[in-house]
Each structure stands twice: as C-alpha cells, then as structure tokens.
C-alpha cells in the first residue's frame, strides 16, 4: 500500500477552534493517523488554518480589530487548542511567503495548461463605495434552498452559490447602501468540462460516501456544473498572477488543493524529509491514499471542485475517501466562529 495522506482542512482564521471542529474532523483525523501508524502504515497528517477568506475581514470589523491581527491570533489559538486536545498533526499551514508561492504556482500551472477561461460573471456591486461583493461581504437567500446566508458555500444545502445568484443581495458591512448587479470578467474553471470524469470518479466512491455528501453529489450532477471563479474583483486575498485579471485576487475557496499539497509537504518535512516539490507526495506514480476529514459544508469545495482541479492538472492522485461530519448546533443553529456564537475547545 502507498503512503496514507490525511488532510483535515483548516478553519477560517477568524477565531479559535470550537467543539464542532474538534469533535468532528480533527478528532477523527487524529484517530485515523494514530491507528494507521500503530498498524505500521507510513502516514502523514496535515492541517492548519485558512487565512484568505473574507470572513476574516467581516469578523475583524465586528470585533474592532485589524484583519491581519485577527488571523495571526487565530492561528496561535487553533494550534494551542489542538495541543490542549492532544491532537498532533505533522504539518500545520500558516500564512507566509512560501504558502503564497505554492498557491500562485498551482494556479499558474492550471493557467499555463489551458484549463482556465476568461468569462463574464455577475456580482453585487455598491456604487457608493465602488466595491464588488462576494462571500462574507454579501448576504441574501440561496436560490437552491431559500435559506438565508452569505454567498459561496451555502451552509444549509451545501451548494456553491455565486454572489450574483443570491436572491435579494445586501451588503453585510454596509446594509444601508443600495446594491446593484454588475458584470466583471474573471478567470474560471469550467467544471462542466470535467463532468464525465467526475461522474466516473464519484461512482467509484459511492460505497463510502456518507449520505449528505452522496445527496449533494447527486443534486449537483443532475444539473449543469457551474463556472467556478478562480479570480475575484476584490482586494482581500492573494493577488492573482494573471495579465487578464489586473487588480483581482485568487478566490480563497479555490485554494483547497494547493492548501492540501502545502500541508502534506510541511508534514513530510516535519518528519525529516528533505524539502522539495510540493506535489511530489501526491503524484499518481507515488500512489498515495488520500483521505479528507471535513464538515459537510466544505463538500463542494473539496470533493467536487477540488477533484476537478486534480483532474484538470492530471498526474496527481485523487482522494480515496471523504469523511464528512454534520454540524454541532447551538440554539438550533450551527456552531459558527463567524457568527460569534461558539463554544471553544479550551479555556481562554
């Protein structure tokens, strides 16, 4: 058997880990890694924190601090909470120049291989401030389930919702200002072009997928798959390295695979391996068994869009398992650091 690569995707760097994080993906990933090693399996376990989502900006505003300060403090808290719970990842992703280079290099490769397309997308726009609104910057009703929330990954139904598809979009930071819809050209990964390969892949995974993930995949594959934006016309995030999209940033939710590759490279180095190409641990030739542990709301980003990116690049191993967890709830709503109503994993 090839090496086992375990990835527990990092939470948004806008606060400490809560009990939902710990009792779900992090504890499960740690148990899996310990069991595999006790059985003699060569295993790498990577996790960390995600630093580029604009939920950091909105949470920082609510808390009255700077986004940079919040994401650095959150990373320290998450690492301390994992240690307090006895969870010991090999690699822990932080926001530094090496991470930025890894992400940019990943998307530059996708671009160089002709996998990205320049297409117009519609975004909510604030004429009063000149800002486009995406993800945490805009809220409304999901066109799939009608649940209230922000753009991006819908926490109610799991579908990915483009900002311009929200029903009744409102600025979360300036709710008093009028919103209109405007088009802007962005680079996208056309997921529909990978439909056949994705369908075959999920057919193979069907026996091990948990019900929520299986249902989501069935719903998504029953309709045309979206153009998934790689760049966005906002200013929070890693600057996009493409001439076609000046002034734009890389969409944080598309960093899933680059983040995972980086986490595993850090894990390998922490266990004594010589630093090198961040993709070498994931090559199909190396034949690793890749297992993800994450909350069900991340299923689209990692299972569908992430797999499509791997298929687009070619030569890299596809995940063997996605272990998804349901939400912990507080007052009939999910634990959410962004909403400020969590039970943290340690005394503060």
3-state SS class at 329: strand
Weakest-pLDDT range from 20-24, 185-189, 231-235: 20-24
Lowest mean pLDDT among 17-26, 124-133, 240-249: 17-26
d(CA 210, CA 237): 32
Q: 11-25, 101-115, 161-175, 209-223: which range is least confident on average?
A: 11-25
What is the CATH code of the structural domain delimited by 4-334? 3.40.50.620
Residue spans of the domains in the chain: they are: 4-334
User: Is 77 in contact with 33 (CB distance < 8 Å)?
Assistant: no
Comparing C-alpha atoms, which of 18, 52, 81, 75 is closest to residue 258? 52
Helices 97-112 and 256-270, packing angle to 10 deg: 130
The predicted structure's pLDDT at residue 277:
86
This prediction's pTM = 0.92
User: How confident is the model over 240-287, as pLDDT tens digits?
Assistant: 999 999 999 999 999 999 999 999 999 999 999 988 888 999 999 999
Q: What mean pLDDT, rounded, does the chain reach?
A: 93
**pLDDT for residue 1 is more than 80:** no
* pLDDT of amino acid 337: 54
């Amino acid at each position: 058997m090839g090496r086992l690569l375990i990835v527990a995707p990092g939470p948004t760097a806008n606060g400490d880990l809560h009990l939902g994080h710990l009792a779900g993906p992090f504890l499960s990933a740690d148990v899996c890694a310990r069991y595999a090693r006790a059985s003699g399996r060569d295993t790498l376990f990577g996790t960390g924190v995600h630093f580029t989502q604009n939920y950091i900006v909105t949470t920082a505003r609510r808390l009255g601090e700077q986004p940079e300060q919040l994401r650095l403090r959150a990373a320290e808290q998450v690492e301390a909470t994992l240690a307090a719970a006895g969870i010991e990842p090999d690699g822990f992703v932080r926001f530094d120049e090496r991470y930025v280079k890894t992400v940019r290099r990943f998307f530059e490769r996708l671009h160089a291989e002709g996998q990205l397309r320049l297409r117009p997308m519609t975004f909510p726009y604030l004429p009063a401030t000149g800002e486009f609104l995406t993800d945490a910057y805009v809220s409304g009703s999901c066109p799939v389930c009608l649940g209230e929330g922000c753009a991006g990954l819908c926490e109610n139904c799991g579908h990915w919702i483009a900002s311009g598809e929200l029903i009744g979009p409102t600025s979360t930071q300036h709710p008093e200002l009028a919103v209109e819809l405007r088009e802007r050209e962005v680079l996208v990964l056309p997921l529909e072009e990978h439909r056949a390969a994705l369908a075959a892949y999920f057919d193979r995974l069907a026996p091990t997928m948990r019900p929520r993930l299986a249902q989501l995949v069935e719903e998504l594959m029953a309709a045309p798959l979206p153009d998934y934006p790689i760049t966005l016309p906002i200013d929070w995030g890693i600057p996009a390295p493409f001439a076609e999209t000046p002034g734009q940033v890389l969409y944080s939710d598309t960093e899933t695979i680059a983040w995972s590759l980086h986490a595993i490279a850090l894990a390998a180095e922490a266990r004594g391996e010589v630093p090198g190409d961040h993709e070498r641990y994931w090559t199909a030739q190396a034949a690793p068994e890749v297992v993800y542990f994450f909350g069900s709301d991340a299923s689209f980003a990692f299972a569908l869009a992430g797999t499509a990116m791997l298929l687009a690049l070619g030569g890299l191993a596809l995940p063997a398992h996605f272990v998804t967890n349901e939400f912990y709830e507080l007052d009939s709503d999910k634990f959410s650091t962004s909403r400020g109503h969590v039970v943290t994993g340690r005394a503060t």
